[in-house]
C-alpha cells in the first residue's frame, strides 16, 4: 500500500463529474491480441471483422444518441486513420485526460498498437470546434523510453473533490509515473494498492474494479489484499457511500460505470446493460439515488474489447468557451 501526499497547491473549486465526453467511433475495432496478454475480459469470437465492426458501430451510435438526448455533450472524435490499425481506439480514456484549468495531458500506453491512438493535434482541433478549447498541454509519453506506463483514467480513478487518486498497480500503472502525474496536477493524495484475481494476475485497469461519483463509490474490494483493503475502504467511506461488488459482478463490468452531468446539472450514471443486469435490486436502488441510471447495450465492444461504457468515455473538464 502506498499513500503518497503531494505538495498542496492553491485550491480551486473542483467538480467531480464532467458534462462533456469524447467518444471515438470503433471503425477499426477488432480483437487486440496485444492487450489480451493481460486483459482477461477479452474474448475471441467467430464473426467476421466486418460483422464485428458493424455491430460495434451500432452500439456506439446508440450510446451517443442516448447521452445527447439527456443533455450530455458528446464530442465524436472521428480520428484520422494511420498506417497501423488501432482496434482499441473506441476506448479513448486511456490516452488523454483534461482539467478544469484548460490542460490536456497525454499518457504512455503499454501496447504498441495502442500508442498509435494518440493523435493530439487532431483531438485539440476537434475540441476547439466543439467549443471546448485546450489552453495548455503536458505529456508523460517520454516515460515510454523507460518502459514505464500509465494508462490515464483506465488505471487512475479520481476523487476530484478530495484531490485523491486511487490506482491498482500493474504493468499498465507504474508508481513513479503515477506520482509524477499527481504532482503535476496538484493532487495531494495517491492511494495505490495491489490486486489479485483468481487467476493470480493483477487487475489490468483500476476502472474495471471501481468507480467514484460525487457521493458514492462502487468497488470490488475482495481483489485487494486484506491489509490494504481496509485502508482503501476507510478512505473512501469518509465521504462516499461505498457499494461493494463481487468478482462475478466485476466480470459483468459493474465497476466500469461513470457518473456524468447534463448541461442543466442533472446527474446520470452511465453503465452497460450487462452491468445493470448484474447489480442487485438493492444496489440499483442505492445507485439511482445518485442519478438517472443509463444502461447501454455494448455487448460486442465489451466481449471483444474487454472494456465497457466507462472506457468509451473520455471526460472533458475543459470549460466551454463563452
Q: What is the pLDDT of residues 296-315, one digit of tens each?
A: 999 999 988 888 999 999 99
- pLDDT grade for 7, boundaries at 50, 70 and 90: very low
* pLDDT average, residue stretch 128-135: 97
* pLDDT average, residue stretch 180-209: 95
Whole-number Å distance between alpha carbons of 139 and 72: 27
Q: Is the pLDDT of residue 31 over 70?
A: no
User: What's the confidence (pLDDT) of residue 6?
Assistant: 42
Whole-number Å distance between alpha carbons of 54 and 186: 42
Whole-number Å distance between alpha carbons of 300 and 258: 19
Question: Helical H runs in 22-116?
Answer: 49-70, 112-115
Whole-number Å distance between alpha carbons of 92 and 114: 10
Whole-number Å distance between alpha carbons of 118 and 302: 22
CA-based angle 236:273:301, to the nearest 5?
A: 95
User: What's the confidence (pLDDT) of residue 5?
Assistant: 46
* pLDDT average, residue stretch 66-78: 97
* pLDDT average, residue stretch 153-166: 97
Statement: 2-315 belongs to CATH 3.40.50.720: no
Q: Pick the more confident residue, 249 or 34.
A: 249
Stretch among 16-25, 101-110, 196-205, 219-228 having the lowest mean pLDDT: 196-205
Whole-number Å distance between alpha carbons of 126 and 77: 7
- The answer to whether residues 213 and 188 touch, using CB atoms and an 8 Å cutoff, is no
Sign of CA dihedral 165, 169, 172, 177: positive
Amino acid at each position: 500500500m502506498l499513500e503518497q501526499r503531494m505538495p498542496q497547491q492553491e485550491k480551486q473549486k473542483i467538480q467531480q463529474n464532467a458534462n462533456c465526453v469524447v467518444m471515438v467511433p470503433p471503425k477499426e475495432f477488432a480483437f487486440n491480441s496485444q492487450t489480451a496478454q493481460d486483459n482477461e475480459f477479452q474474448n475471441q469470437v467467430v464473426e467476421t471483422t466486418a460483422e464485428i465492426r458493424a455491430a460495434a458501430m451500432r452500439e456506439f451510435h446508440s450510446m451517443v444518441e442516448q447521452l445527447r438526448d439527456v443533455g450530455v455533450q458528446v464530442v465524436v472524435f472521428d480520428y484520422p486513420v494511420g498506417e497501423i490499425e488501432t482496434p482499441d481506439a473506441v476506448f479513448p480514456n486511456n490516452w488523454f485526460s483534461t482539467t478544469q484549468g484548460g490542460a490536456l495531458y497525454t499518457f504512455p500506453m503499454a501496447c504498441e498498437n495502442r500508442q498509435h491512438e494518440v493523435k493530439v493535434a487532431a483531438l485539440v482541433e476537434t475540441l476547439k470546434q466543439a467549443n471546448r478549447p485546450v489552453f495548455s498541454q503536458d505529456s508523460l509519453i517520454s516515460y515510454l523510453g523507460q518502459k514505464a506506463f500509465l494508462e490515464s483514467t483506465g488505471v487512475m480513478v479520481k476523487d476530484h473533490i478530495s484531490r485523491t487518486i486511487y490506482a491498482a498497480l500493474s504493468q499498465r500503472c507504474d508508481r513513479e509515473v503515477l506520482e509524477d502525474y499527481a504532482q503535476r496536477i496538484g493532487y495531494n493524495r495517491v492511494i495505490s494498492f495491489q490486486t489479485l484475481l483468481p487467476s493470480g494476475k493483477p487487475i489490468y485497469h483500476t476502472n474495471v474494479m471501481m468507480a467514484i461519483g460525487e457521493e458514492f463509490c462502487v468497488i470490488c474490494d475482495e481483489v485487494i489484499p486484506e491489509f490494504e483493503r481496509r485502508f482503501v475502504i476507510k478512505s473512501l467511506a469518509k465521504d462516499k457511500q461505498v457499494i461493494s461488488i463481487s468478482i462475478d459482478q466485476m466480470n459483468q463490468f459493474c465497476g466500469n460505470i461513470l457518473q456524468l452531468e447534463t448541461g442543466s446539472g442533472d446527474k446520470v450514471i452511465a453503465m452497460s446493460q450487462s452491468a445493470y443486469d448484474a447489480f442487485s435490486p438493492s444496489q440499483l436502488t442505492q445507485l439511482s439515488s445518485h442519478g438517472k441510471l443509463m444502461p447501454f447495450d455494448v455487448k460486442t465492444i465489451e466481449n471483444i474489447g474487454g472494456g465497457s461504457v466507462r472506457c468509451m468515455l473520455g471526460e472533458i473538464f475543459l470549460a466551454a468557451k463563452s
